[in-house]
Amino acid sequence: MNARLPARALRTLALALATGAAATAMADDENKRMNIDHPVYRSECGSCHIAFPPALLGANSWRAMMAGLDKHFGSDASLDAETAATITKFLVANAGRRDTTGSDGNPQLRISDTPWFRKEHRDGHDGITPGVFRSEAVKSAANCAACHRDAGQGDYSERNIRIPKNGARS
């Protein structure tokens, strides 16, 4: 048998235990802190946008995302195979339990297209004003940190939400 297997299995087990606990906590209250604590994930997937919480998409969505990095929302975000495999493992291990397959049968790739996101971010909910996502201060629903001030650290708790007034900079 492969001599490296036990060490690898142990590591996987440790990771699964740590992230499993985080995923459970997250599912119970999605406004709390979300696990983004993986140095390779944070540096690679946090350069063009913040490192989005893996719990916000299902495992199939993450697998599809990582299989199409050369055409990633209009940009080439290609990674070497080894780094991509490391990140995929982290994303899948921490993926949301909710399946995020779209109505067309394909895995949804845009977090802001998922029913959960749309419900939580509908106009009028928790002070969200119409058009705020397209405003100068926010620009895009991908800009979590425009309102979730500590999103870069995985903190989406309600007390750290500041919605820019009328989309103006604040």
Under rule CB under 8 A, residue 25 binds another protein: no
Among 13-21, 56-64, 137-145, 157-165, the segment contacting another protein (CB under 8 A): 137-145
- Between 23 and 41, CB nearer to another protein: 41
Q: How far is CA 157 from CA 10, 29, 56, 104, 170, in A?
A: 32, 9, 15, 32, 19
What is the closest distance, in whole angstroms, from the C-beta atom of residue 30 to another protein in the complex?
22
DSSP string, 109-133: --GGGSHHHHHHT-TTGGGPPTTGG
The DSSP string of 8-33 is HHHHHHHHHHHHHHHHHHHHH-TTS-
Q: Residue count at the site for another protein (CB under 8 A)?
A: 17
Q: Minimum CB separation from another protein for residue 142, in Å? A: 5
Question: Minimum distance between the CB of residue 18 and another protein, rounded to whole angstroms?
Answer: 27
| Range 80-99, binding another protein (CB under 8 A) | 80
- We find the least distance from the C-beta atom of residue 14 to another protein, in angstroms, to be 27
Nearer Cβ to another protein (24/83): 83
What Å distances lie between residue 54 and 65, 139, 144, CA to CA? 12, 22, 14
3-class DSSP assignment, residue 150: coil
Considering the complex, state which of residue 80 and residue 104 has its C-beta at the smaller distance from another protein.
80
59 is a site residue for another protein (CB under 8 A): no
Tokens describing residue 48: 């063009």
Measured distance CA(137)–CA(16) in Å, rounded: 38
92: its two tokens:
């899948």
| Residue 13: both structure tokens together | 């087990």
Write out the binding residues for another protein, residues 63-82 only, by CB under 8 A: 70, 73-80
Interaction site with another protein (CB under 8 A): 47-50, 70, 73-80, 139-140, 142-143
